[in-house]
Amino acid sequence: MGYLKRNGMVTAAQGLAALVIICLLRYFDTFAVIFSFKQVGIVPSIIAMLVLLSGLSAIAGLMRGDKWGFIPLYFFIPAATMFFGFSLIPYIPSLIEPEYRRLVIIAINSSVLIYAVFLLLKMMDSNVILRTEKY
């Protein structure tokens, strides 16, 4: 039973990594514009670089099922929401009227963030031994 529980949590972490991959691929053109030479100012480039690096490192950690992958995820979700208005679950906000779209993005990303927090707490439970830990 413990193996199934551990395997399910690793699969859930990989699902979170898949959401980050989908978000980065969906909004790839935004990063391309920000990193273009026509961009004025260094601050948007620095913020975009931090968001991109946190997303990539979250993918690397979560795909392996490592707990450290949640740390960059906890930066990526709020930063992508506040600075860029990205939705982790794409195309759902486009079904909503434009004046409520921002609230829907905040609700979607907040629910994913809360799920990630509860998943990490469950993974940190003393009864669960992850495959990356030594006996």
**Alpha-carbon span 59 to 73, nearest angstrom:** 8
Q: What is the pLDDT of residues 61-87, one digit of tens each?
A: 999 989 999 999 999 999 999 999 999
Query: For 66, how many CA atoms within 13 A lie in the half-sphere containing its CB?
Result: 14
Find the length of the chain. Answer: 135
Confidence of residue 48 (pLDDT cuts 50, 70, 90): confident
Residue 115 has pLDDT above 70, yes or no: yes
Answer with the residue of higher pLDDT: 32 or 118: 118
**Alpha-carbon span 63 to 33, nearest angstrom:** 28
Vertex 105 angle, CA 99 and 108, to 5°: 140
Q: What is the pTM of this model?
A: 0.82
**Alpha-carbon span 38 to 105, nearest angstrom:** 28
In the block, tokens 């779209």 appear at: 101
**Alpha-carbon span 94 to 69, nearest angstrom:** 29
